[in-house]
Structure 1
Amino acid sequence: MEISSISGPLPPIPDSLTIPQFIFDCEYVTRPMRRAGTPWLIDDTTGRALGRDEVRSSAALG
């Protein structure tokens, strides 16, 4: 199955990084920049917000 987009192809994704490295350490061209203090996750039930550092520390970075 071929998938296409009206915005064109994405830049190459580096294949030398692990998924956690790509999520937490890599600045990818199409990724929006987050301001400091912007939550990464928000619990819908409690409203508790988790920032980058808390998500990173609880991720299994094996």
Structure 2
Amino acid sequence: MASNWRDLLPHYVAMFLFYVVGIVLAYGLTGESNFWISIGIAAVVALGYPPLARRLGIAPGSWSR
């Protein structure tokens, strides 16, 4: 279990950083902070990062198909 967390932690950090960058970009483009925009960005990151990581060959073993 501990080794699984060591494999996943860098990916969770990367997903969080993508989310924060997405929020900053959305705020910069729209000039407002909106709950639904932040939910949309979180959904895009959560659903888009794992397939992207698999395609790049950097996904942990637990994300394999």
In the superposition, the TM-score normalised over structure 1's length comes to: 0.28
Structure having the higher Rg = 1
Higher helix residue share: 2
Q: Which has the higher contact order (CA 8 A, sep 6+)?
A: 2
Higher strand residue share: 1
